[in-house]
Structure 1
Amino acid sequence: MRERLTIAFVALTVVVLLVAGLVRAFTLRDLIEERESASLERTAQLIAVSVGSAERDGDPVTTAFLEPMAAERTSVTVERAGLPPVTAMGAGYDVAQEAADTVGRETMGQTMVTVRQSGTVIQDILGRNVGALAALLLMLLLFAGAVGFMLAGYLSRPFVALAESAEALGRGRFDLELPKSSIPEAAAIATSLLASSVRLEDSIKRDRAFFHHASHVLRTPLTGMRLELEELSMRTELSDDVRRTASRCVGEVQRLDGVVDDLLEFARGRSLVAGAEISLAALGSRIAQHWRDRLPENIEVRAYVDGGGDARLTPGPVEQLLDHVLADVTATAAGPVSLRFAGQPEHVRIRIEGGRPRSGTKPQERAGADSAKAMVEALGGRLSGEVLSEAGVEILLPRR
Structure 2
Amino acid sequence: MRERLTTAFIAITLLLLVGAGLIRSHASDSAVRAHEAADVAATAEAMGAVISDAVAAGGVLDRELLRPFLTPRSRIVIKREDSTRVVLTGADFDPGAPADQLASAVILGDGEEVELTNVHDQTLEGVWGDRFEVLAVFGLLAILAGVTGYLVARSLSAPFRQLAVAAAALGRGRFDLDLPRGGVPEARAIALALASSATQMRERMEREREFGQHASHVLRTPLTSLRFRLEEIIEDPTLSGEARDATIGCLRAVGRLDQVAGELVELGGRGVLLAGAALPLRDLATQVAQRWADVLDLDHRSLSAAVEGDIELRFTPGPVEQVLDLLLEDVLQHDTGAVRLVFEGAASRLQIDVSCVDANGTRRAPARAAEERIQVVLDSLGGRLERPADGSALRLHLPRR
TM-score (norm 2): 0.82
Quote the residue 2:394 is aligned against.
Answer: 393
Q: Shift of the alpha carbon at 1:275?
A: 0.8
Residue in 2 that maps onto 1:289: 290
Residues 45 and 259 of structure 1: is their aligned pair in 2 closer, same or farther, counting only changes over 3 Å?
farther
Indicate if the aligned counterparts of 2:173 and 2:316 stay in contact, CA closer than 8 A.
yes
CA distance in 2, matches of 1:139, 1:80: 60
Distance in 2 (CA, whole Å) between partners of 1:99 and 1:211 is 98
Whether the aligned pair in 2 keeps the contact of 1:105 and 1:115 (CA below 8 Å) is: yes
TM (norm. structure 1) is 0.82
Which ranges of structure 2 fall in alignment gaps of 5 or more residues?
A: 360-366
Give the equivalent residue in structure 1 for 2:101. Answer: 102
Amino acid at match of 2:184: I
CA deviation after TM superposition for structure 1 residue 203, in Å: 1.8
Counterpart AA for 2:341: L
The 3 A distance-change label for structure 1 pair 113 and 190 is farther
Match of 1:362 in 2: none
Match of 1:6 in 2: 6
Q: Give, in angstroms, the shift of residue 102 of structure 1.
A: 2.5
Q: Give the partner amino acid of 1:16.
A: L
| Secondary structure at the counterpart of residue 105 of structure 1 | strand
| Cα contact 1:38–1:104 (8 A) shared by 2 | no
Which residue of 1 is the match for residue 168 of structure 2? 167
Deviation of 1:317 after TM superposition, in Å, equals 0.8
Q: SS at the partner of 2:146?
A: helix
Percent of counterpart pairs with the same letter? 34
Q: Equivalents in 2 of 1:368, 1:113: separation in Å? A: 104
After superposition, where does 1:151-190 map in structure 2 within 5 Å? 151-190=152-191
**What letter matches 2:74 in structure 1?**
T
Equivalent-residue separation in structure 1 for 2:188 and 2:28 (angstroms): 48
The amino acid across from 1:385 in the alignment is: R
- Provide the residue aligned with 2:362 in structure 1: none
Name the counterpart of 1:333.
Answer: 335
Number of residues of Structure 1 aligned to a counterpart in Structure 2: 387
Structure 1 pair 250–106 and aligned structure 2 pair: CA distance change class (3 A): farther
| Matched position secondary structure for 2:353 | strand
Is 1:315 aligned to 2:317, yes or no? yes
CA distance change for structure 1 residues 330 and 298 in 2, over 3 Å: closer, same or farther?
A: closer
The one-character-per-residue Cα deviations of 1:292-324 (angstroms, maximum 9, x if unpaired) are 444473432222223343332111111110121
Give 1:197's aligned amino acid: A
> For 1:63-212, what aligned pairs fall within 5 Å after superposition?
63-79=63-79, 84-95=84-95, 97-105=96-104, 107=106, 109-110=108-109, 112-119=113-120, 121-122=121-122, 124-127=123-126, 129=128, 131=130, 134-135=134-135, 136-212=137-213
**Greater Cα shift, 144-153 or 178-187:** 178-187
RMSD (Å) for aligned C-alpha atoms? 3.5
Counterpart residue type for residue 351 of structure 2? R
Measured after TM superposition, the shift of residue 218 of structure 1 is 1.3
Contact in 1 for aligned 2:330/2:370 (Cα 8 Å): yes
What secondary structure sits across from 1:352 in the alignment?
A: strand
1:10, distance to aligned residue in structure 2 (A):
3.0
Deviation at 1:148, TM superposition (A): 1.1
1: distance between equivalents of 2:358 and 2:235? 64
Residue 371 of structure 2 corresponds to: 369
Query: 1:348: Cα distance to partner?
Result: 2.1
